[in-house]
């Protein structure tokens, strides 16, 4: 696991955009295409804007865009992860494909259709994302895997998920843990306690009970990019 502590949200966005650029060039150079899973929420928005500004640095027609999760709302709803990514990034670049989750239909049907789209996109190979961006909530959720309601390991890559507020559709732990690289981006003091608990779990120094701590790619890289405020309770920063 690689942990990077960035000074502030601006530095976090720059490091994230750099990491996407590096992974894209590497994947396109080696395999001819790059599968990128976008995170929802608000933290990644500035990194997406930066990627849009630097659009020329990535060969976007070779990029296939997916989403880690979606809220069950129409694609133009202010809560839609697709809408956020579209406005910040996708309207400004020309990806080879954009595979969104249909938040506007029944969650189980949306999960079934999204899973099929993923499998079709990778066929005849088994699905394996090159880079998955993830955020983390104050309760330790990631994508739409919430404490106590994580769909258990199964053959599924996508599952409906009931969040405290609304229905969602999410990639499963299996799909995340089969990826080549997972990059968490976390900012803000409100997440400091949870981050300390989750990283202790990831490092085997505490229970890996929260969903974010259970994302550990079996044969891939795991990176956590966090800002100084979020890192304030980590042993290496707090001196604990």
The residues that touch ligand 6PG, with contacts defined as CB under 6 A, are 39-43, 68-69, 71, 81, 135-137, 141-143
State the nearest-atom distance from the C-beta of 81 to ligand 6PG, in Å: 5
Comparison of 44 and 127: residue with beta carbon closer to ligand 6PG: 44
Q: How far apart are CA 65 and CA 40, in angstroms?
A: 13
- Contact (Cβ atoms closer than 8 angstroms) between residue 12 and residue 233: no
State the nearest-atom distance from the C-beta of 191 to ligand 6PG, in Å: 7
Comparison of 69 and 130: residue with beta carbon closer to ligand 6PG: 69
Comparison of 63 and 136: residue with beta carbon closer to ligand 6PG: 136
Closest by Cα among 189, 185, 203 to 238: 189
Comparison of 40 and 160: residue with beta carbon closer to ligand 6PG: 40
Comparison of 164 and 207: residue with beta carbon closer to ligand 6PG: 164
Comparison of 42 and 154: residue with beta carbon closer to ligand 6PG: 42
- Contact (Cβ atoms closer than 8 angstroms) between residue 214 and residue 150: yes
State the nearest-atom distance from the C-beta of 44 to ligand 6PG, in Å: 7
| Residue with the two structure tokens 């079996």 | 218
State the nearest-atom distance from the C-beta of 48 to ligand 6PG, in Å: 12
Opening angle at CA 172, ends 170 and 173, nearest 5: 135
Calculate the dihedral angle through the C-alpha atoms of 49, 52, 54, 60, rounding to the nearest 10 degrees. 140
Whether the ω angle into residue 138 lies within 30 degrees of 0, i.e. cis, is no
User: How do strand 2-6 and strand 131-134 relate by DSSP bridges?
Assistant: unpaired
State the nearest-atom distance from the C-beta of 87 to ligand 6PG, in Å: 15
For the chain, the straight-line distance linking the first and the last C-alpha, in angstroms and rounded, comes to 20
Q: How far apart are CA 17 and CA 51, in angstroms?
A: 6
State the nearest-atom distance from the C-beta of 232 to ligand 6PG, in Å: 16
């Amino acid at each position: 696991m690689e942990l990077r502590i960035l000074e502030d949200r601006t530095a976090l966005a720059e490091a994230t955009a750099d990491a996407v650029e590096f992974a894209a060039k590497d994947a396109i150079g080696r395999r001819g295409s790059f599968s990128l899973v976008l995170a929802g929420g608000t933290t990644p928005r500035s990194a997406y804007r930066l990627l849009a500004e630097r659009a020329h640095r990535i060969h976007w027609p070779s990029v296939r865009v997916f989403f880690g999760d979606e809220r069950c709302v129409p694609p133009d709803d202010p809560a839609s992860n697709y809408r956020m990514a579209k406005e910040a990034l996708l309207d400004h670049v020309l990806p080879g494909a954009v595979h969104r989750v249909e938040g506007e239909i029944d969650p189980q049907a949306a999960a079934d259709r999204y899973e099929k789209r993923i499998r079709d996109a990778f066929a005849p190979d088994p699905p394996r994302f090159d880079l998955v961006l993830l955020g983390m909530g104050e309760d330790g959720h990631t994508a739409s895997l919430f404490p106590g309601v994580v769909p258990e390991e199964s053959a599924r890559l996508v599952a409906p998920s009931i969040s405290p507020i609304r229905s969602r559709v999410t990639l499963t732990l299996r799909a995340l843990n089969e990826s080549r690289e997972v990059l968490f981006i976390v900012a803000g003091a409100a997440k400091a306690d949870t981050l300390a608990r989750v990283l202790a779990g990831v490092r085997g120094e505490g229970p890996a009970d929260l969903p974010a701590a259970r994302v550990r790619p079996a044969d891939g890289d795991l990176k956590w990019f966090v800002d100084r405020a979020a890192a304030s309770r980590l042993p290496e920063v707090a001196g604990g």
